[in-house]
Structure 1
């Protein structure tokens, strides 16, 4: 409390007014300049047209202005990160390289191939005609357009918990000793005047054009009013006025919002129509009002609360819906960033869904990227750590950080304003993160404490989030949601020949213990950056065998960065790893921050059988590219080779469920299930290969082998053999491939009968002969002798004849 400045008054100023005489501070006292506070606070609630009542705010909720003037710092806009020379004995890690510089990833957008959200040329603010949430893949229940008249507040009042000084952030207008708090007065800390009463009343006509119907809500910097525009077909509009007409800072921020809104034209950002003046009813001083479109729907926060009220056991909104919201928000923020603007205060309250579209509202905190003076308005629980905001200022990365916080808050329950203000709970304790590891890693990359490790722009984050969405939908619906990667090519073909006998050998290899070199050779390869001056030529050379590629590129006197990278890839393929390492280091010096050299370091470690090092590197790449299949395939192979079968199985399963074109994932999953003694599970995986696929026949032959190879007799049955034979019949194989697989079925069936088992029916037959020891021996002998007859290899012929003699039926003669 402060002593009253009125003459002959012994009272004290409490809540802006004297507790004895009731007078406001005198002009002399009010004119004393208050020291500039380190932080000021903006009021909490946004303009939510359809939600006049608000749920309790999280701990320390409310906007906050971090001092940003006069300290000479530059906002973090993201620059290239230089890749350091590898320490002695070990090549660099991706994390080390990114932490050695600033946040950008040089060249990331250049070879991404297009806007991952809009499907147009890569550009963070490119417009799109798409109006469906989640790329049309997600069914988001539409939010009905609400009658504006029904959204008007009957008793517009700012809750006491949200009454804070717009200058210093101190609490004002609070109840004391049973007396209700004042809605108008002076801040006891800095003497700044405050007012929380609406300045417009129903029936007021602003600028001779806009007839006010009442208040909708109170926003961060002013009351939100509903009005009719009598000059334009009586359309509904929203007037946003200043919360405190006496606050010069609020005036400045409102003027900034007007300028920003006038520049922005995006389907996911609220539209501005006009900016008008209307005299304050108490002082007569003209107050500014922004005229905006009316968005009739619900905020994402209110949608979350409604969902939890209907389903108390839910952890949050369905994750596919949350991701759909995130993709639309990233489109809008990408557009703002392309205009040189930062949103700064992204949160669920500031996003409204109406019908099947979302719009970002309340642009009061928007500022230019190069603005070093305007106060920064953010909200606890969604903003970057205070130290970062104070030392670096807002940036593109901090906007994306807020988007990730918003996704987390909408997806699951956690103390986001308190214990986990700058962190997330452990994934093991959160079902949605445990169920979708890629989503967990995407959130954690966007929320990295080190700004350099986060996403560099909205398009990059949207691309990875789109990949995560496809995985989530595949898991939820049980069907693939494939898409061509903008960063990686297709995986290496698993079957090198159309010879079906050789394909049988290759499927045997794929279902057996994995080979590190084979796993490395099958992985997809990063695409060439089309911005490189040699890109067109290199794209044509990329399909050459590694030996020919080395010969073509080694003599280049002036190699471009992409030439070095392609040469490194080819050198790895021919086993010249030291020379490849040198090319990767030189590429890193030319293109600092590019993740692709670290992909080749990982592949090289795997090919050199250093599987533990490869596993660490693929883990980093998975963290960096959580929406891509390639890092998961590499990590799955490294996990399998180091004994992490559980991790490998989950990764293979995720890739396989999402995109059936990654056959290595299917065979890897089948291989692990066979190793666990689950041949039926392996066959189930192989049966997922579509009939139109080029590897369908190979997958079915592998399924036959999985059914009958290395099986304990007790686990077999007549049905297993009949299933295997039926598969062979459907394939319609001829010649040695047919005879070879028939022999496997017959050999296993014979061992089964010799172990004391037999068919349920004495008349059971297999491949045209009785399912008895005699019938199986005769059938197997004929198969071996037929194969011996047609083979041209004398040694192979002798082996087959010996096998035929060994299994032929016993006779008395």
Structure 2
């Protein structure tokens, strides 16, 4: 890795090799730029990180392999040297120190292009005592700003420390970076950021000039780049790290980045090389590029392939740091060949990258984090971590078959369900009306920073007309007031007025990345019977908050209303597998399975509604009805008849409902017997169903009893007469 000189626009990176065994094995470009430009609009948004206390790596959702902490002495290099393909002039970026005609290139000399001196040899050696207390054991790595050395601190219990030196003792840019570190990095105190202990000077062995060294804590373990390459070698093929593990790394990195933002610092140069895992913990280890948020003058260090495109003109910001997180996760999770060239500022599309096609939510997180427009990126590390946590829950639920529910920080819970009413007609699960769906979908939580938040909290009206009156009389207009008026107008059935309120709300939006107007636009379109337009709005919301359940549920319902059962099933399944509290998704998934003639799939989903849910009985009733309905010309199978009967016997139901379901089961059994008992095994004993033998005569008697019982419970004389006639017609002939 080489360092470029100060310039407004970074030079073009070198051409990528034609054959790339792994994206992390390619050479990346890093370098400083200077800019006097001010921050772009949008960087004033909330940037505070989560609390600095760390949890177990993986957020309790995924197990990440522990990386043993190595003996520090084993990290010392026997023959420290910089490979020739990593030697570049620190001033102009030209190749230096390269061999010719088979002869090795010099490790020190002058650049043939600009005359700048270069020296890639270590400056400290075993036994050197730096600053009067740090005994050097040797070189352990070569980084962006030069050699890194292992030492013992004789003043503090011989603890292991790291000394970070300079690429060239005469280079003013590198010295300025070290001085900057010395000035403010001692303020950094976070468990996921390497600790800076001291700043010392030591004379250069060749010139005698004093050279500055940063003294940092020693972090044993492996960098994420090393872990990715090791995984590649062990797999024996081009295979990136497991996606759950990569997301777990992101969730450990983001609080550290957010912490730096909270104390007005920017990391600037995040990449897999700069993050080490030791044990179950991650640490950001290279603070050479860290700068104050209001620093627009000092050299800005970056790495090609990870750096945001606006760095050269806008400088470093919270948004550019978010960008580096997205790029780092992308490089670790896919075979990202071309990430420094063809995809330097883009991502492969889902049709070109199978992982993105499989995990659309993850792709959307990366897409928003690396958006070309900085204002459209996540506003803070905390916001990105919230969405990434939701994506991890989804990924692990799909991978393990176990729900991984979690509370949303931006949406309310599903307080009601749509489509859970079981019909007595030929279709046990009828399609809910668009208006019903729109009225039930979760709503965004009220922004507590909204100027009218306190007023909204005090409004107790529940009837739409009363709520409209209370909101209209609110002493202060705000986007939250307008959005609540949108919902109230929808509940009144006045979609035209709801659209007018939404237009007024849009005029109050200050943040171009605010997705809430699109959510309400989708609700209005859905309620108005325009599912295609609703899907377009909900897609925008999904792009903005890809870790949330609500947009996927809304997209599923809209796709179902449009007749796109494939898409509806995909989204309903994402919701239901992740969180079993969204029972609307279970009934919706069952409906679209039935629409696709996947009867067994529908039954399986209905059976998965937990008995702790208030909709468990409705789901079981629906499953019984589905089991007892023939598919086309195919009669119901005997195992389904027995299973439906057993499930019915276990349910607690009122007399009328139990009798109706009993009639459904016996009618299915009667149809199976009349069809010649297809699929019955001769050796299978003739088991009973709801107390009736599986014979035509006994089933007729059973159905007669059901119809007469229903007749006694009928609400009208017409219904009673019809049921009595039905009982008489089914009753077998007798001699009494």
Aligned to 1:412: 334
Q: Is contact 1:257–1:363 with CA below 8 Å preserved after alignment?
A: yes
2:351 aligned counterpart, secondary structure: helix
1:108-131 Cα offsets, whole Å, 9 max, x none, are x6xxxxxxxxxxxxx733433334
Asked if 1:78 corresponds to 2:42, the answer is: yes
SS of 1:511's equivalent? Answer: coil
- TM-fit CA distance, 1:469: 0.4
Shift of 1:542: 7.2
The correspondence for 2:400, drawn from 466, 477, 488, is 477
- Say which SS state the counterpart of residue 122 (structure 2) adopts: coil
Q: 2:499 maps to which residue?
A: 581
1:308 is displaced (CA, Å) by 1.1
- Distance in 1 between residues matched to 2:9 and 2:454, nearest whole Å: 55
Counterpart position of 2:30: 63
Query: 1:259 aligned to 2:183?
Result: yes
Q: Where does residue 549 of structure 1 map in the other structure?
A: 467
In 2, Cα distance between equivalents of 1:289 and 1:406:
28
Secondary structure of residue in 1 paired with 2:580: coil
**Residue aligning to 1:51:** none
8 Å Cα contact 1:42/1:65 also seen in 2: no
| Cα distance change of structure 1 residues 495 and 767 upon mapping to structure 2, 3 Å threshold | farther
- Match in the other structure for 1:188: 112
| In structure 2, distance between residues paired with 1:55 and 1:440 | 20
Tell me: higher relative CO, structure 1 or 2? Use CA pairs within 8 A at least 6 residues apart.
Answer: 1
- What runs of 5+ residues in structure 2 fail to find an aligned partner? 15-20
Match of 2:349 in 1: 426
* 2:323 matches 1:401: yes
Q: In structure 2, which of residues 690, 693, 718 is the aligned counterpart of residue 767 of structure 1?
A: 690
Corresponding residue for 1:521?
439
- Structure 1 residue 367: deviation in Å? 1.8
CA deviations 1:683-723 (Å, max 9, x no partner) are 11112111122211111111111211353453522211111
1:437 maps to 360
**Structure 2 CA distance for partners of 1:795 and 1:534, relative to 1, 3 Å:** farther
Post-superposition Cα deviations, 1:264-294, rounded to whole Å, max 9, x if no partner, equal 1111100000000101111111110110000
The alignment yields a C-alpha RMSD, in angstroms, of 2.7
- Residue 231 of structure 1 is aligned with which of 134, 147, 155? 155
- 2:667 maps to which of 743, 747, 754: 747
The residue aligned with 1:179 is 103
Cα distance in 1 for partners of 2:85, 2:184 equals 30
Q: Distance in 2 between matches of 1:602 and 1:509?
A: 28
Could you give the per-residue CA deviations for residues 83-105 of structure 1, whole angstroms, max 9, x where no partner exists? xxxxxxxxxxxxxxxxxxxxx6x
C-alpha distance in 1 between matches for 2:589 and 2:418: 17
Partner of 1:202: 126
CA contact (8 A) 1:750 1:776 kept: yes
Moved more, 159-168 or 470-479: 159-168
Mean Cα displacement is larger for which, 798-807 or 758-767?
A: 758-767
Between the aligned partners of 2:81 and 2:146, the Cα distance in structure 1 is 12
**Distance in 2 between residues matched to 1:56 and 1:641, nearest whole Å:** 43
| 1:705 pairs with 2:625 | yes
- In the other structure, the counterpart of 2:724 is 801
> Cα gap change, 1:367/1:76 in structure 2, threshold over 3 Å: closer, same or farther?
farther
- State the alpha-carbon separation in 1 of the partners of residues 143 and 461 from structure 2: 58
State whether structure 2 residue 414 is matched by structure 1 residue 491: yes
> Residues 221 and 254 of structure 1 are in contact (CA less than 8 Å); yes or no, is this contact kept in structure 2?
no
1:42 and 1:221 in contact (8 A); partners too: no
Instruction: Provide the TM-score with structure 1 as the length reference.
Output: 0.84
Alpha carbons of 1:495 and 1:442: their partners in 2 closer, same or farther (altered >3 Å)?
A: closer
* 1:318 maps to which of 236, 242, 246: 242
- The equivalent of 2:644 in structure 1 is 724
Deviation at 1:752, TM superposition (A): 2.9
Greater shift in the superposed pair: 299-308 or 438-447: 438-447
Query: Map of 1:94-173 to 2, 5 A cutoff?
Result: 124-173=48-97
- Per-residue Cα deviation, 1:450-499 (whole angstroms, up to 9, x for no partner): 22322121111111000000001111111111011111112242389xxx
Query: Against the structure 1 CA distance between its residues 202 and 368, is the aligned structure 2 distance closer, same or farther, given a 3 Å change threshold?
Result: same
Corresponding residue for residue 355 of structure 1? 279
Instruction: Give yes or no for the alignment of 1:216 onto 2:135.
Output: no
Q: Are the structure 2 counterparts of residues 667 and 723 from structure 1 closer, same or farther at C-alpha, using a change threshold of 3 Å?
A: same
Tell me the SS of whatever aligns to 1:212: strand
Is the partner of 1:352 in helix, strand or coil?
strand
Q: Normalized against structure 2, the TM-score is what? A: 0.92
Helix, strand or coil at the partner of 1:353: strand
Instruction: Classify the secondary structure of the residue corresponding to 1:133.
Output: coil
Distance 1:383 1:37 in 2: 15
In the other structure, the counterpart of 2:510 is: 592
Comparing 614-623 with 549-558, greater Cα deviation is found at 549-558
Q: Which moved more, 1:527-536 or 1:404-413?
A: 527-536
Distance 1:42 1:380, change over 3 A: closer
5+ long unaligned stretches in structure 1:
1-33, 44-53, 81-103, 110-122, 497-501
- 1:810: Cα distance to partner? 4.9
- Indicate yes or no: 2:221 matched with 1:303: no
Distance 1:731 1:314, change over 3 A: farther
Are 2:50 and 2:382, in contact at CA under 8 Å, matched by a contact in 1? no
Contact 2:589 2:602 in 1 (8 A): yes
CA-to-partner distance for each residue in 1:14-35, whole Å, 9 max, x for gaps? xxxxxxxxxxxxxxxxxxxx99
1:262 CA displacement = 1.2
**Residue 574 (structure 2) pairs with residue 650 (structure 1):** no
1:507 deviation in Å? 11
Partner of 2:17: none
Cα pair distance change 1:528/1:557, threshold 3 Å:
same
Structure 1: how far apart are the matches of 2:238 and 2:669?
51
Q: Among residues 782, 785, 792, which one is paired with 2:715 in the alignment?
A: 792
Deviation at 1:541, TM superposition (A): 4.5
Residue pair 2:396, 2:404 contacting (<8 A) in 1 also: yes
1:703-750 deviation per Cα after TM superposition (whole angstroms, max 9, x unaligned):
111211353453522211111010011113231010111111122232
Question: 2:658: which partner in 1?
Answer: 738
2:312 alignment partner, one of 390, 394, 401: 390
Q: Distance in 2 between matches of 1:508 and 1:378?
A: 65
Alpha-carbon distance change, 801 to 170 in structure 1, aligned in 2, over 3 angstroms:
same
Contact 1:42 1:64 in 2 (8 A): no
Number of aligned pairs?
A: 720
From 276, 300, 325, the equivalent of 1:376 is 300
CA contact (8 A) 1:492 1:521 kept: no
User: Matched residue of 1:185: which SS?
Assistant: strand
1:124-183 per-position Cα deviation (integer Å, ceiling 9, x unaligned):
334333341121222111111111111001111111111112222222111123332222
2:726 & 2:43 partners in 1: Cα distance? 69
* Mapped contact 2:52–2:255 kept (Cα < 8 A): no
Structure 2 equivalent of residue 248 of structure 1? 172
